[in-house]
Chain A
Amino acid sequence: GQNIDQPTEMTATEGAIVQINCTYQTSGFNGLFWYQQHAGEAPTFLSYNVLDGLEEKGRFSSFLSRSKGYSYLLLKELQMKDSASYLCAVLDSNYQLIWGAGTKLIIKP
């Protein structure tokens, strides 16, 4: 079966750094996405990785290791507005997105 695992909830302090991990087992791999979803709102795109390595985009970075079936999202200089759920999703061999349940990130002052 296909499976995406990520922690259910994490807590971090404003101004700090947090790393949200995602491991996956899917039928084929055509890339991995990270989305942000604030409570009661729609998911919005953060990053896409298809090759191994680190992609940096401002305060957010995303890493991929295809051999390990592993990715992480790194958030630096945390702000209160970063409190949200972070969704990991893998594009499988049929180009369908398989979604993790999301990690709820709580930022404390």
Chain B
Amino acid sequence: IAGITQAPTSQILAAGRRMTLRCTQDMRHNAMYWYRQDLGLGLRLIHYSNTAGTTGKGEVPDGYSVSRANTDDFPLTLASAVPSQTSVYFCASSDSGTGGNEQFFGPGTRLTVL
């Protein structure tokens, strides 16, 4: 693994189903983030984690949950998917959650909820 990876690349999901998007980084970064990107809107922060064992809510957390059991992994779960969660999801990481550290992004997961 080099950098940050996400799985799956894309997914079509029926409304009401549960789905976990996976994110793994090998840069030993302390901070990790989940964003969604919708056409005409900027990236919006869903949840973040400044260090393993801690998580926080971003701008649009409703309907999503995260966990950070270790440094490398930061899965995002949709407990019961709805069509408004159709989006491109990006995971990102940075060396620190405070300070001007650049965020490195994964390749994204394109999710369609029908």
Q: Which residues of A contact B (CB under 8 A)?
A: 4, 30-31, 33, 41-45, 48, 50, 87, 89, 91, 95-102
Which residue of chain A has its CB nearest to the CB of B38?
Answer: A101
Q: How far is the CA of A16 from the CA of B57 in the complex (A)?
A: 43
Residues on the B chain within 8 Å of A45, using CB: 102-104
Given known contacts A42-B90, A96-B48, A101 and B100 CB-to-CB distance under 8 angstroms: no
Most buried by B among A31, A95, A102: A95
Is B98's beta carbon under 8 Å from chain A?
yes
Most buried by B among A41, A45, A87: A45
Interchain CB contact under 8 A, A42 and B107 = yes
Interchain CB contact under 8 A, A50 and B100 = yes
Interchain CB contact under 8 A, A100 and B42 = yes
Q: How far is the CA of A65 from the CA of B97 in the complex (A)?
A: 24
Chain B interface helix/strand/loop/mixed: loop
The 10 nearest A-B residue pairs measured at CB: A99-B42, A42-B105, A45-B102, A31-B100, A99-B43, A95-B98, A101-B42, A100-B42, A48-B100, A43-B105
Q: How far is the CA of A45 from the CA of B92 in the complex (A)?
A: 12
- Can you give 19 contacting A-B residue pairs, CB < 8 Å? A30-B99, A31-B100, A33-B102, A41-B108, A42-B106, A42-B108, A43-B105, A44-B105, A45-B103, A48-B102, A89-B42, A91-B100, A95-B98, A96-B58, A97-B103, A98-B42, A99-B42, A99-B43, A102-B42
The proximity string for B residues 84-114 relative to A, scoring 1 for CB distances below 8 Å and 0 otherwise, is 0000001000000111101111111000000
Q: How far is the CA of A6 from the CA of B40 in the complex (A)?
A: 12
Interchain CB contact under 8 A, A30 and B90 = no
Interchain CB contact under 8 A, A30 and B105 = no
* Minimum C-beta distance from B103 to chain A (A): 7
Is B27's beta carbon under 8 Å from chain A?
no
